[in-house]
Copies of this chain bind each other. A is one copy, B any other.
């Protein structure tokens, strides 16, 4: 399973890097299946992935940010965010990824997840029950130490005012604009938590964004919960949205929620 996901991610990486400098990554192509605007870079990456699935004749359905659900009469579904952090790519912030997960019908039964940082080339991978890895090296979350804490938060026009409380509750705070890689930072114990709290439901996270990184985080010993503190599951459905807290150490929940 790993080989297939790696191959797809590699192809996305190759094709994105081959785009000419003059290419307008951010050109708006109108709304995708999930209703958010599609940029050229999203479309290029998704086309590569859909091309791969066909070419390798993979027995999977596909759920992707832009194209929606593609029924290929498969038993499993490849859940895809072709580019997580599109706006970073457009702005020149070197922090965006492709995110790929394989599962039956919802986040909780995802069997494998892979996230590739499209700038550094780092690959995060997890298979259910077999641990989480960065570039084939096992990763683990860290214990929470309030005196040396770092939280990542979602920030923007729609962030809930509680975000400020969370941001001020840690020694350092960042808002990096790429949920999948931010979750992986929690998984490898670089930071303590990632918090997303949007006031507007349609701006909260979709399953395509975090299906892969939620498995990586859980296999690294962390947890992801909704803002009521309950185990987060999301169906493979682009209409489903959720706020959440991803954390390395369960005690972060007491501090944040």
Contact = CB atoms under 8 A, between A and B. Distances in A.
A150 interface: yes
Interface in A135-169: 150, 153, 155-159, 161, 163-164, 167-169
Contacts of A94: 94-95, 119-120
A16 interface: no
Contacts of A119: 94
A237 to B, nearest CB: 26
Contacts of A163: 164
Contact of A176 (B93, B158, B169, B171): B93
B172 A87 contact: yes
B95 A190 contact: no
Interface residues of A, number: 33
A168 B159 contact: yes
B156 A168 contact: yes
A92 interface: yes
Interface string A87-124: 11001111100000000000000000000000110000
B190 A170 contact: no
Nearest to A162: B164
A170 B191 contact: no
A174 interface: yes
Contact of A91 (B88, B156, B170, B185): B185
A176 B178 CA distance: 12
Interface of A: 87-88, 91-95, 119-120, 150, 153, 155-159, 161, 163-164, 167-177, 185, 190-191
Given A87-B172, A94-B94, A157-B173, 17 more contacts: A87-B150, A91-B150, A91-B190, A91-B191, A93-B95, A155-B167, A155-B174, A156-B167, A156-B171, A156-B172, A156-B173, A157-B168, A157-B170, A159-B164, A159-B168, A159-B173, A174-B176
